[in-house]
Structure 1
Amino acid sequence: MSAKGPWHDLSLRLASGVGMAALGLGAVWAGGPWFAALAATVCGLMLWELARMVAPERALEAVIVGLSGAAAVLVGRALPDAVALVPIAVPAILGAVLLRRERAIFAAFALAIVAASYGLTGFRDVHGVVWLIWLVLVVIATDVSGYFAGRFIGGPKFWPRVSPKKTWAGTLGGWFAAVLIGLIFLTFTNAGRDLPWISMALSLASQMGDIAESAVKRRMGVKDSSGLLPGHGGLFDRFDGLLGAALFMLLVAQLVYVPEVRF
């Protein structure tokens, strides 16, 4: 019988989570080459993890795909937006050719990862730091509140076939926390009054990113995307929510006007 309780991993998760949050928020605040370097590094590592999940026997090919993803973000930033679509698509195509397994799944997720990484660097340049801090805090609040609500309250599962651990309590807890983040940002920015419910929609997108990655892991028969992060598994395990939220935010930014948010 295991002596591990439901909170056995909490201290390790908190320590590594705080470290990741500090590094990420610091790079977001610095912007420019610092944020671009972080986005490229995270993109490359997530693609490496994805390739290792899809085809674990192809270690060298996974490294090549990861490096191509990091390069795509940096090269794309040096090109006009229309031309940048070419390097953004390269890792997905390259991985589908080299890995030879689960090509559609790999290509779809690889394209999403590279597009989000590239898109966030451009979004930071155009719209400034506040929206990205809001994005990161909504994702963190969703994850942390969902973790505690799920552990304390439990109850019915949200989507047991895909994500057996996610409960409705955790899902709703994440939405509530996201609304609070939106309300807090209303107090010191000129964001519109729709921000709380948009924050909740962003929280849902974050949760869908988590569920999508869980579906891939279940299909591939793995527990974690890698062991890079103590207590968390891999980068893909931690940034799946941010991936979903970032894609949602970038899509909305293409459809509606995003005002400059001032303190």
Structure 2
Amino acid sequence: MSRARFDDLLPRLLSAIVMVGIGLLTVWLGGLWFHALVIAVSAVMVWELVCMLDDQRNKAPLVLAVVAAAALTLASEVPISFGLPLLLLPSMVGLGRMQKGGVSYAVFTAAILIAGYGMMALRDDFGLTWMSWLILVVVVTDIAGYFAGRIIGGPKFWPRVSPKKTWAGTIAGWIGAAGVGLAFAATTTAGAGLMGISIAVAMASQIGDIAESAIKRRTGVKDSSSLIPGHGGLLDRFDGMLGASLFIVIVGQLVGLPTGAIP
């Protein structure tokens, strides 16, 4: 096994420990603390997105990040019927400020804010247990994929867009997510069907990761930013959570979310 395969493991690990610590604390506290974290992360992701898509680097990244933060903050404080247009407002505002990449910006920004809103609603309405389930599914999918991809290797998943991802890592992520679903099914009244939902969430997480990789490939950048050592930017780190949260918002409307969480 080549040692080079794990050259980035130490900085990734140290950065992950810090992020996990902050994340776990705010998830446990919930309420305004968790809302503040989600809003801040969402705003930074919008900033990174604009910087990637529009290399003019005028005031647009900062302006649109502030608009996104304000819109998500207001949306979380008003009824959903009034919150929905607020979640889409930054996309509309950005279309007039982007020199290029406006459509990609509008779609991804809408996804970021809807996903952020969905995470806040999940924590507020369904509690700590199900927020923890969502996070664990995404984290285990990422970790299982990372190690299986480097240890097993094999055929690439989509080499033109994401040359490091393999089918071995992709499937390992599904298996890891199924294990998380099984563990939560055994400790709640959600039932064995949670395994299937967890695998689907893992797939959505991987799609979010690939979608962000496609933008980076198109714009010719390696990372969305250099904010996090070993991980790049927040969009690099939370692209999987973005896809998973957006999926949960949709699934929650179609089939309902699992119930029976332990208080």
Shift of 1:4: 7.8
Give 3-state SS (helix, strand or coil) of 2:164's partner: strand
Say what the alpha-carbon RMSD is for the aligned residues: 1.4
| Residue matched to 1:149 | 148
Shift of 1:29: 1.8
For residues 126-137 of structure 1, what are the structure 2 equivalents within 5 Å? 126-137=125-136
Give 3-state SS (helix, strand or coil) of 2:96's partner: helix
| Residue matched to 2:75 | 76
| Residue matched to 1:33 | 32
Deviations 1:152-201 (Å, cap 9, x if unpaired)?
Answer: 01110011122111100100111111111111112222212101121111
Give 3-state SS (helix, strand or coil) of 1:129's partner: helix
Give 3-state SS (helix, strand or coil) of 1:128's partner: helix
Shift of 1:130: 1.3
Q: CA contact under 8 A between 2:118 and 2:248: conserved in structure 1?
A: no
Shift of 1:82: 0.8
Shift of 1:259: 4.2
Shift of 1:50: 0.1
| Residue matched to 1:94 | 93
Q: CA contact under 8 A between 2:130 and 2:261: conserved in structure 1?
A: no
| CA distance in 2: counterparts of 1:261 and 1:52, whole angstroms | 43
Q: Aligned residue pairs: how many?
A: 261
Aligned partner of 1:24: which letter?
G
| CA distance in 1: counterparts of 2:58 and 2:134, whole angstroms | 33
Match status 1:164 vs 2:163: yes
| Residue matched to 2:13 | 14
Aligned partner of 2:155: which letter?
P
What is the TM-score with the length of structure 2 in the denominator? 0.96
Range 123-132 or range 219-228, more displaced: 123-132
Give 3-state SS (helix, strand or coil) of 2:22's partner: helix
Give 3-state SS (helix, strand or coil) of 1:240's partner: helix
| CA distance in 1: counterparts of 2:206 and 2:79, whole angstroms | 32
Any gaps of 5 or more consecutive residues in structure 2?
none
| Residue matched to 1:53 | 52
Any gaps of 5 or more consecutive residues in structure 1?
none
Identity of paired residues, percent? 49
Shift of 1:261: 2.8
Shift of 1:39: 0.6
Q: CA contact under 8 A between 2:216 and 2:224: conserved in structure 1?
A: yes
